[in-house]
Amino acid sequence: MTAAMTNALSAPLALPSYREQSDDVRARFRELKERPVVLSIEQLGKTFDSAKGRVTALSDVSFEVHRKEFVSVIGPSGCGKSTLIRLLAGLEQPTTGLVRLDGRPVDGPGKERGMVFQGYTLFPWLTVKDNVTFGPRMAGVPPREADQKALEWLDVIGLRRFGDHYPDQLSGGMKQRVAIARALANEPRILLMDEPFGALDAQTRAGMQGHLMRIWDSVDLTVLFITHDLDEAVYLSDRIVVLAAHPGRIAEVIEVPVPRPREREQLLSAPFLATKNRLETLIYGATPAHDATVEDGKD
Amino acid sequence: MASPLFRPREPLSPRARAVATALAFVLPLSLWSLVSYVPFVWHPQVLVEQAGDASVPGTYDFIAAGERVDRESFEARNRELAEAGAALATGTRVNPIYLPAPHEVARAFYTAFTTEPERRGDAWLHESLWHSCQIIFWGFLYAALLGLPIGVACGTFSVASNLIEPFTDFIRYMPAPVFGALAVAIFGLADAPKITIVFIGTFFPMVIVVANTTRQVEPALLHAAQTLGASTRQLVTHVVLPSALPNLYRDMRVLVGCAWTYLVVAELIGEKSGISAFIYQQQRYRHFDNVYASIVIIGAVGLLCDQLLALAGTLLFPWQSGHSGLLKALRTLPRRLRAGLSGERALEVSK
């Protein structure tokens, strides 16, 4: 770690290219691309009619997510990342293009695409356990069976003893862990996460990233993760889809050259910093800073 | 530094709050007592004890013993009597009959229940009160049975909202009592038209209020439920309803108060009945102490109902009990009692 640190501090310009992959990372990506495609996004476009006229939020976005892959979507404010994930969840309909899950076109929300939202969306009138069993109960799973499953998921997120608490009695980080468990209890084909740790303080956030990595390691789980935090994107992802704004479109898809399993020490390793460097150029280098603040909150 | 009592939005200390709450009742009561018991404060009339020499003619010779007359008339009569050299009228200064003293009203809380109706067939106070409660109950029940589902539908589905709410809003602006004549023509003279007025008075505002409350359900919760696979029906039964329920319950508490307002009008159409008829009759018999007692009793019944409903609410919606002091107070009561007891024991030891 110290070697990486001195390297990073003394010679920031001597970073390797973010395209440079070690042999095992390259082998991992080769294997990953052979896995079946879970989610495919084909020429997706979305325009809104606003008072100021027609706004193109997304234009011609195409990429694929393979099984058990962790893909992040990152971009400046106004790049349409939230629009993208709402289209994937089926909460909005695309203007052009198509989303396919396991080859079948998506129309409308469905339990095979679980979602974790940025805000707290636990049902306040249900206990933690009943929140986790919500999906299965809606699908008609017998209560006893659903409860059993819920307890297993509460074990996974380490909150079993809070099963009978109400959401208002939990901290922000705990709420988001329950939200993850609630989505996973439905055994979705893919987990869509819309800046799930955005509202948390830095320390809780780091802890949550660790939690998510452990869950992702232990379960057969495909994740599409929206974030605006560069470290978070590099730390968690196999690939990062970088969007550009006005209109929202793909700037680049980056294969993260940091080996797995990931440790927090790698935050200062050369491949990590090289990738982060590239993201910074793509996101902040291209767009003037004031533009980002003007569009703040519209995303 | 400004007094802590007048810092904007600054909560009062528990002691100051208790004092202010007590004063809220004590101050008007003191004012009332002052006007009632201190003769020179107001007392614009004289209760005549002896009318003096009634054979002396004059403009004011109508004055008779046992009557309340204006002070000016009383004094003018005495001038007439004095000019004629006759015996003067005597009397004591009193307030008008419509302002009985506090002790008279206090006594009426008891006597209003025990005095027999002046006319045979008229209702006792408790009978009137019970009758009023029944009108309220049925009027409100029918309004809620219809208004809640319609309001929830309006708050959930835009099509229902656009179909129902404009017309409801239109009717809502018509005062319910204007339907009184129609209600009597259609439903006759008994309780049905009265229940109808209470229904009309509460149903239309209820639809609007319930729709607005339902619309406040967090859309993110609906989205979350949708991504968890909930069907449209399940969204209504498992998300919209439980989410809106505590606020709907609060709305119902407010609307019950609304129903009491319409009750008073409703009871005076067709055949007069209930507490309003009782008040009306007591006024005719000039039993103003009973009138005040009845009015206060309506307030007391309303307050009691509301407090009971509030208590039931904290039990019904435990996930919100974090915000309500009562349930928490009940739950922590044993611990605080123990702490209190041990505290006292500690005091004894220190003595």
Of B227, B318, B320, the CB nearest to A89: B227
Please say if the pLDDT value at position A7 is more than 50: no
* Mean pLDDT over each residue of chain A, to the nearest integer: 88
Span B229-257, average pLDDT:
94
Residue pair B259/B201 in contact (Cβ under 8 Å)? The answer is yes
Q: Are residues A205 and A230 in the same domain?
A: yes
Residue A13 Ramachandran class (φ > 0 left, ψ -120 to 50 alpha, else beta): alpha
Res A164 pLDDT > 60: yes
> Is residue A218 in a domain?
yes
Residues A82 and A95 in one domain: yes
Structure-derived torsion over alpha carbons of residues B88, B94, B97, B101, reported in degrees to the nearest 10: -150
Handedness of CA A157, A161, A163, A165 (dihedral sign): negative
Q: Cis bond leading into B28, ω under 30°?
A: no
| Three-state DSSP state, B216 | coil
Q: Is the pLDDT of residue A296 over 50?
A: no
Q: Chain B residues within 8 A (CB-CB) of chain A?
A: 218, 220-221, 223-231, 234, 238-239, 242-243, 245, 317-320, 322
Residue B219: closest C-alpha in chain A: A121
| A34 in any annotated domain | yes
| Residue A97 and residue A215 share a domain | yes
The reported pLDDT for the residue numbered A297 is: 42
Using an 8 Å CB-CB cutoff, list chain A residues near B221. 121, 123
* CA-based radius of gyration for chain A: 20
User: Are A154 and A71 found together in one domain?
Assistant: no
Asked if A124 and B231 come within 8 Å (Cβ–Cβ), the reply is no
Is residue A236 within 8 Å of residue A263, measured between CB atoms? no
Mean pLDDT of the region B334-347 = 55
Query: Rounded to whole angstroms, how far apart are CA atoms B217 and B240?
Result: 6
pLDDT digits (tens, 9 = 90+) for A15-34: 888 888 888 999 999 999 99
| Distance between CA atoms of residues B214 and B221, nearest Å | 13
CATH code at position A208:
3.40.50.300
pLDDT (0 to 100) of residue A14: 72
Q: What is the mean pLDDT of residues A268-275?
A: 91
Domain end among A170, A185, A200: A185
Highest-pLDDT range among A51-65, A272-286, B198-212, B298-312: B198-212
Q: Does residue A9 register a pLDDT over 80? A: no
Q: What's the CA gap between A39 and A63, in Å, rounded?
A: 9
**Range name among B19-33, B218-232, B308-322 with the lowest pLDDT average:** B308-322
More confident residue, B335 or A149: A149
Query: CA of A86: which chain B residue's CA is closest?
Result: B223
Mutation target for B interface from A83, A131, A138: give the one with most B CBs within 10 A: A138
Pick the closest to residue A234 from A199, A263, A214 (CA basis): A263
Judged by CB atoms closer than 8 Å, whether chains meet at B238 and A89 is answered as no
Q: What is the DSSP letter of A56?
A: E
Mean of per-residue pLDDT scores for chain B: 87
Residue B237 CA: distances (Å) to CA of A186, A255, A295, B228: 20, 45, 38, 15
In order of A217, B123, B275, B277, B289, the CA distances from B131 in angstroms are: 70, 10, 8, 11, 21
Domains along the sequence of chain B with CATH: 45-94 (no CATH), 114-321 (1.10.3720.10)
Q: Are A91 and A82 in contact (CB under 8 A)?
A: no
Segment B230-236 mean pLDDT: 95
Domain end among A185, A214, A238: A185
Number of domains in chain A: 2
pLDDT of residue B334: 64
- pLDDT at site A8: 47
The answer, yes or no, to whether residue B215 has pLDDT greater than 60, is yes
A89 touches chain B (CB under 8 A): yes
Q: Within a domain: residue A76?
A: yes
The pLDDT of residue B289 is above 70: yes
Query: Is residue A98 in a domain?
Result: yes
Q: Which of A91, A117, A123 to mutate to test the interface with B (most CBs of B within 10 A)?
A: A123
Retrieve residue A162's tokens: 């809070």
Least confident interval from A18-27, A47-56, B329-338: B329-338
The reported pLDDT for the residue numbered B116 is: 77
B230–A192 C-beta distance less than 8 A: no
pLDDT of B44 > 60? The answer is yes
Has residue A291 got a pLDDT over 50? no
Domain coverage including residue A165: 122-185
Whether the predicted pLDDT of A2 surpasses 70? no
pLDDT at A293: 42
Q: How confident is the model at residue B132 (pLDDT cuts 50, 70, 90)?
A: very high
- Is A178 contained in some domain? yes
For range B153-170, the mean pLDDT:
95
Residue B64: other Cβ atoms inside 10 A: 12
- Residue B277 above 80 pLDDT? yes
**Domain boundary residue, one of A162, A185, A208:** A185
Q: Which is nearest to A253 in space by CA: A23, A33, A27? A: A33
| β-pair type (B45-50, A190-194) | unpaired
Q: Give, for B110, the enclosing helix (H) or strand (E).
A: helix B102-114
Closest CA to B294 of B127, B122, B109, B17: B109
Which helix (H) or strand (E) element contains residue B312?
helix B288-316
How large is the average pLDDT for residues B312-338? 66
Phi, psi of A47 (to 5 degrees): -120, 145
Q: What's the pLDDT tens digit per position in A198-254?
A: 888 999 999 999 989 999 988 889 999 999 999 999 999 999 999 998 889 999 999
pLDDT over 50 (residue A298):
no
- Pairing of β A223-226 and β A70-74: parallel
Q: Are residues A161 and A216 in the same domain?
A: no
End-to-end CA gap in chain B: 40
Q: Is the pLDDT of residue B341 over 60?
A: no
Residues A32 and A93 in one domain: yes
Q: What's the confidence (pLDDT) of residue B39?
A: 85
Structure ipTM: 0.86
| Same domain for A214 and A90 | yes
3-state secondary structure of B224: helix
Residues A70 and A174 both lie in one domain: no
3-state SS class at A70: strand
How close does chain A come to B225, measured CA to CA in Å? 8
| pLDDT over 70, % of chain A | 91
Confidence of residue A13 (pLDDT cuts 50, 70, 90): low
A170 lies in the same domain as A231: no
Higher pLDDT, A11 or A182: A182
pTM summary value: 0.80
CA distance A1 to chain B (A): 41
pLDDT tens readout for residues B48-99? 998 888 888 888 888 888 889 999 999 999 998 998 888 888 999 999 989 9
Report DSSP letters for A169-228, one per residue. GS-HHHHHHHHHHHHHTT--SEEEEESTTTTS-HHHHHHHHHHHHHHHHHS---EEEE-S
Describe the strand order of the beta sheet including A239-244 as a list of residue ranges.
A113-116, A190-194, A223-226, A70-74, A239-244, A249-255
Q: Do A192 and B231 touch (CB under 8 A)?
A: no
Task: Decide if pLDDT at B120 tops 90.
Answer: no
Q: pLDDT-derived band of residue B324, with 50, 70 and 90 as boundaries?
A: very low
Asked if residue A78 and residue A38 are part of one domain, the reply reads yes
Q: What is the pLDDT of residue A67?
A: 95
- Percentage of chain B modeled with pLDDT above 70: 91
Q: How far is A228 from chain B (nearest CA, A)?
A: 21
Across the interface, whether the CB atoms of B238 and A134 are under 8 A apart is answered: yes
Interval A149-166 mean pLDDT: 91
Residue with tokens 């922000």: A172
Would residue A152 count as lying in a domain? yes
- Nearest-angstrom CA–CA distance, B181 and B138: 20
Assess whether A273 and A201 both reside in one domain: yes
Q: Tokens standing for B277?
A: 């008829």
Mean pLDDT value of segment B105-125: 82
How far is it, in rounded angstroms, from Cα B264 to Cα B280?
11
Predicted local confidence at residue B349, as pLDDT: 41
Over 90: is that where the pLDDT of B117 sits? no
Pair A75, A220 in one domain: yes
Amino acid at B142: Y
Q: What is the mean pLDDT of residues B186-191?
A: 88
- Out of A151-155, A295-299, B126-130, least confident range: A295-299
Of B224, B227, B243, the CB nearest to A125: B243
Distances, alpha carbon B351 to alpha carbons A64, B341, B345, B348, in Å: 81, 15, 10, 5
In a domain, A299, yes or no: no
Which residues, other chains included, contact B196 with Cβ-Cβ below 8 Å and sequence gap of 6+? B139, B179, B183, B186, B187, B266
Strand partners, A37: A66
Q: Which of A101-105, B43-47, B189-193, B345-349 comes out lowest in average pLDDT?
A: B345-349
Is the pLDDT assigned to residue A150 strictly greater than 80? Answer: yes
How far the first Cα of chain A sits from its last, in Å, is 37
What six digits make up the tokens of A266? 């790698």
Report if residue A202 sits inside a domain: yes
Instruction: Please report, for chain A, how many H helices and E strands are present, in that order.
Output: 11, 10
Determine the pLDDT at residue B8.
87
**Sign of the alpha-carbon torsion through A176, B227, A213, A235:** negative
